[in-house]
Amino acid sequence: METVPKALGRLRVAIEDAFLRASRDLGLTGQQAELLCAAMRPAAVGDIAQALRCDRSNVSRLLDRAAARGLLRRHGDAEDERVTLVELTPEGETLARRFLAALEAQTAALRDRWSAQRQRLAVGLLNELSDALDASKQPPRRRKWAGVAGHGSTSTD
């Protein structure tokens, strides 16, 4: 019998594959693509690390490499000088949008068959599942890299 945990496992593998295909087509690693998506709005380094479920020092190294590629820039927060904010450059913004478009394209045929109501229902269910997993009473396990899509690659780039 199919269960929610089994279905989530299948979904995790499918998402990981989708992320890898979409990122490789853009010359990015999955982690770089996730970083760009997490930084689509200016955000503090700590907030990005939390969103990616990754240690702040590993995110800092990933940010260094992305900045060296001209994909983002860092600057101090005007209100709190202790906080470093991350903003995408126009090139980084373009790559993030192209990555998201590639993910959208991978599900376009399915979504085209779904009504707007069914799409809203799917989004609601997926967000509810994510919230439930985030609220789990087990303390989060920090990995060297644990991406937004849930893939546990040990690569930092």
Provide the 8-state DSSP code for 139: P
Backbone φ and ψ for 75, nearest 5 degrees, come out as -155, 160
Sign, CA dihedral 118-122-128-131, equals negative
pLDDT in tens, 16-57: 999 999 999 999 998 999 999 999 999 999 999 998 988 888
Radius of gyration of the chain from Cα atoms? 17
Burial of 123 per CB tally in 10 Å (0-12, 13-18, 19+): exposed
User: Can you give the pLDDT at residue 109?
Assistant: 93
Instruction: Answer whether 0.85 is exceeded by the pTM.
Output: no
| Amino acid 108: pLDDT | 95
